[in-house]
Structure 1
């Protein structure tokens, strides 16, 4: 039996339940391909699952909802070749079946997306969930050259990526990002924000208006965001950083001002061409997508601990060297 290293959660708990150990390498089965993992991002949803806040997930489980790597073996040789670079996102990976916190992961063929790129594994690992979410949400905002865009939750991985991608998509726009921590303002400006609002901004300043708002805090602030749009403006409520998954109450006629619009974006609905568009945009526009911090597979528990303690911010990735 071939073995591999993986990070296994036997039961929900603190970061120390993430156990680095040897386990059997997954065996190929019809309709699935084996991917050699080269990297993945650490996501807030994985922290929530490890804490036991995802009722549908059964343990023990190898977490990880995204992966970048290469095809090690496949049951679809007409679609994939051994050694081909692929990305996979969501699709119950790390939830209904074992995910990417491992040296190898077994994935449904329909969930593999070939990518052509010269990016490093660390750079590519920063893109799947974070970059795809930011890019898809920005496209939904229909950015115009002179837009003033607000990113609520700007110090998150998606928020920082969105600031960079927004300028790459429309160089003439102005980006304002929010963060609860004043000491992060300078870094956010280095990462693409033209202006930073700091503090516990459940409600924005009364006079503040924006053409487009990417609200990563989610239902906790989305209704407030709608009140700060210019005519024709759009709010994309994408993410739940505020810890609230649904509106307490929502009345479209009362909560959406006239001639303003509310949309969202889910990385669970993957459009393969958008992934390649994203990679091409990053390459052609020389977007700096280096992750905030890179960990080894053995250090996944440390990454979780930093994110959970709010010490960690930006994009954390794991890279598995050959």
Structure 2
């Protein structure tokens, strides 16, 4: 099989497409023929050497969609079953989805019923699930005014598509560091675009609900734009800061705001199917922004790291 191996941390040049034996099935694990997978910023962080528990060489990849080709759980994961998998320790403690086949623990493989084609299916798992969970955490109503901080990211765009599908009249604003993407953002459903300069939003607007995807590096500024008794869901780390420092809950949330998060590792088959049922019910557009072949993995990483990056990037395997 083809697999993308990283032998040492570095730039996209360390992503090497090689021939490897197909993994051998062992008890409690099953083999998936990978039809496609999303490319994520967390994999870029790992490739760069910022994931302290990851050792090299390693096949990256924290998500995939495909079919079961060898199983150790015939009842739940029969041969030919359409499945997805995300998170766990795939691509970190053991080899992940940047390959034509991947061997995964049965407990993190989920059977899915969906009519989506493989390209669209590959765009859903980690990104749309994170967006969907964050949307539920924000407890939206038809009267809300929403801000997405990190609007051009895959999760930001997916969140807005979900919200606009269910609440078409809801006002959703997005923040960006450069207005060059304003037309693209308006086209995917945002009602307005707000410029962020040096971690500060250039607006006096307040919002009843905020999806924080930049993270701890700007969250205090986001909270300052939260309406009384509003909710902020801090889901992303696009700002590169992992922890919230010098935070005083009493004074920093003095406007009676609610701070929450969504952890995409909290999964079950029922939760996954709920997402796909939502996508079908509301006919949500899940087509990825960019689609590459496995041989083009360096191009995919370069695009995601570039200032032109927009939306979801996927790799789709042929056959």
TM-score range, shorter chain: over 0.9
Per-residue deviation, residues 266-297 of structure 1 (Å, max 9, x unmatched): 11222332221211221221211110000001
Q: Which runs of 5+ in 2 are unaligned?
A: none
Q: Distance in 1 between matches of 2:307 and 2:268?
A: 32
Q: Distance in 2 between matches of 1:175 and 1:271?
A: 29
Alpha-carbon distance, 1:206 to partner: 5.8
Q: Distance in 2 between matches of 1:183 and 1:280?
A: 35
The equivalent of 2:81 in structure 1 is 84
The equivalent of 1:124 in structure 2 is 121
Per-residue deviation, residues 155-174 of structure 1 (Å, max 9, x unmatched): 00001111110112323311
Q: Distance in 1 between matches of 2:198 and 2:148?
A: 12
The equivalent of 1:245 in structure 2 is 242
Superposed structure 1 runs of 4+ greater than 4 Å apart: none
SS in 2 for 1:166: helix
The two structures have a TM-score, normalised by structure 2, of 0.97
Tell me if structure 2 keeps the 8 A contact 1:136–1:274.
Answer: no
Alpha-carbon distance, 1:245 to partner: 0.6
Q: Distance in 2 between matches of 1:168 and 1:311?
A: 26
The equivalent of 1:109 in structure 2 is 106
Per-residue deviation, residues 46-77 of structure 1 (Å, max 9, x unmatched): 00100111111010000000001111111011
The equivalent of 1:33 in structure 2 is 30
Q: Distance in 2 between matches of 1:6 and 1:127?
A: 22
Distance 1:14 1:205, change over 3 A: closer
Q: Distance in 1 between matches of 2:307 and 2:270?
A: 34
The equivalent of 1:298 in structure 2 is 295
SS in 1 for 2:140: coil
Distance 1:97 1:291, change over 3 A: same
Per-residue deviation, residues 134-153 of structure 1 (Å, max 9, x unmatched): 00001000000121100000
Is 1:10 the counterpart of 2:12? The answer is: no
SS in 1 for 2:304: helix
Q: Distance in 2 between matches of 1:75 and 1:41?
A: 26
SS in 1 for 2:291: strand
Distance 1:35 1:56, change over 3 A: same
SS in 1 for 2:20: strand
Q: Distance in 2 between matches of 1:28 and 1:207?
A: 57
Q: Distance in 1 between matches of 2:235 and 2:316?
A: 27
The equivalent of 2:43 in structure 1 is 46
Q: Distance in 2 between matches of 1:205 and 1:310?
A: 20
Tell me if structure 2 keeps the 8 A contact 1:10–1:17.
Answer: yes
The equivalent of 2:269 in structure 1 is 272
Is 1:314 the counterpart of 2:301? The answer is: no
Q: Distance in 2 between matches of 1:64 and 1:200?
A: 32
SS in 2 for 1:68: strand
**Deviates further, 124-133 or 305-314:** 305-314
Q: Distance in 1 between matches of 2:184 and 2:219?
A: 25
Matches within 5 A, 1:159-238: 159-200=156-197, 202-205=199-202, 207-238=204-235
Q: Distance in 2 between matches of 1:158 and 1:251?
A: 28
Alpha-carbon distance, 1:131 to partner: 0.3
Is 1:152 the counterpart of 2:149? The answer is: yes
Tell me if structure 2 keeps the 8 A contact 1:168–1:281.
Answer: no
**Deviates further, 281-290 or 123-132:** 281-290
Give the number of aligned pairs. 319
Is 1:21 the counterpart of 2:18? The answer is: yes
Is 1:143 the counterpart of 2:140? The answer is: yes
